[in-house]
Structure 1
């Protein structure tokens, strides 16, 4: 006696769930878990202030911080101060980044340049940005040149060292193939050296930009009348801790966006690296 198997009309859908939907669910779950702790801290913070466990003058409640953020955004003051800081970090990073890439390439390609510059950069990497600010203030004053120089120095050192390290870690077989094909310097750079050193270089870019952003905030705290760092100083001087907290949150958010944006660019560039080889 033969049996007839009747397939359920929705069997195909239940047996093979949509992979894209499952991926979305996993990402949503990971994102929810990441937001759980900050949300819990906000609730505890609000309750602590409402029940007077902590004075509102010492720690304003999240509702007040959100209200201050809305006022600053509506007035345009927050965007004005942030745009000044972003302009400074862009100019300073371009200066330090261009020099860092060129010097790192020179050190990586020439043993003689390495002998002259590597000890200097290793020494510079041990001096924090804060230690340079008093000297630079004496040399160039407290105008925009100070901000650009501080950011450029913060970006220059890590990018130079990472570029140098990336070039020196290229497998010798890659360079040997370039010699066999008699590639010129420019073609060798574009097709072999830069693609092979790209992971290390871009690690240096991300680290350098983070250092540059922190350096900018530091110098704005000490010697500036504009910028997101100055907004924190202004809040402290007026005893408006809600303003200080808003500035802190914006600084952290901008740093996160910059890092994640560079991570996305890094992924795209790694595809170019694979295509180059």
Structure 2
């Protein structure tokens, strides 16, 4: 049988060159994605020629105006603060609950139905209930988001704990590792893919839920401003806020999540 590996144990030269070309093409495709979206948007706005579908130029000018002289920056500051607090609390609670359910079958049997109920209760019901019980306050909004998103994180982390390899646990026992070293060297590397998945999924949903809850009841924020713009059918302002929101989301994804993923899970690519 012909050996298809390189002399140094890595990929053969032909495969490495192919991977390099594919990577460069993928990078160029990523760069072309947003300009293509803007071009399609501009074409549709030109064809429609309607005030309800403004083009990128009008929306960009409105965005600058709202950022310099309007409430855009203050609204985004309030919404991002709410998202950050709700995300941190939901991740902490969900991770703790998921680890407990994955580790102890008795706890999973007792509380798994609670998790299913939490996953399927509509966010709107949670928001209304919290607003009625706590009032139209910042605390009610954050509590509603945490209640809505914690079960999702718990479910993901439970599956991660269940997938832990017993072979590594035996290896840790053979080397007489303490609990701290077991957690750092054995458990965390295996759990990180699940933790990152829970973080990315939870964050993408928390963005949306916070905006909906702000529309229902808040005294500021991006969702609150959307409600006002909707009342005036101000599509240009709605798209301007949406454009700013997309910029924030892309910054978080490409500036934080993906570099963190490459750094934490780089060992998997190196091993492959």
Common fold, TM-score beyond 0.5?
yes
Partner of 1:108: 102
Listed as ranges, the gaps of 5+ residues in structure 2 are 1-17
Partner of 1:269: 264
Deviation at 1:211, TM superposition (A): 1.3
Structure 2 SS opposite 1:170: coil
Aligned counterpart in structure 2 of residue 130 of structure 1, from 114, 124, 134: 124
Deviation at 1:137, TM superposition (A): 1.2
Alignment RMSD (CA, Å): 2.6
Change (3 A) 1:23 1:129: same
Structure 2 SS opposite 1:59: coil
Partner of 1:77: 71
1:74-98 deviations in Å (ceiling 9; x for gaps): 1252111101100011111111111
Matched, 1:245 2:213: no
Whole-angstrom CA distance in 1 between matches of 2:188 and 2:24: 38
Structure 1-normalised TM-score? Answer: 0.81
Matched, 1:151 2:150: no
Change (3 A) 1:264 1:155: farther
Whole-angstrom CA distance in 2 between matches of 1:61 and 1:55: 9
Whole-angstrom CA distance in 1 between matches of 2:193 and 2:173: 23
Structure with higher Rg: it is 1
Structure 1 SS opposite 2:265: helix
Deviation at 1:165, TM superposition (A): 0.5
Partner of 2:46: 47
Listed as ranges, the gaps of 5+ residues in structure 1 are 1-18
Whole-angstrom CA distance in 2 between matches of 1:80 and 1:209: 21
Change (3 A) 1:140 1:212: same
Whole-angstrom CA distance in 2 between matches of 1:272 and 1:154: 34
Partner of 1:177: 171
Kept after mapping to 2: 8 A contact 1:84/1:226: yes
Give structure 1 regions of 4+ aligned residues with deviation exceeding 6 angstroms. Answer: 21-24, 272-275
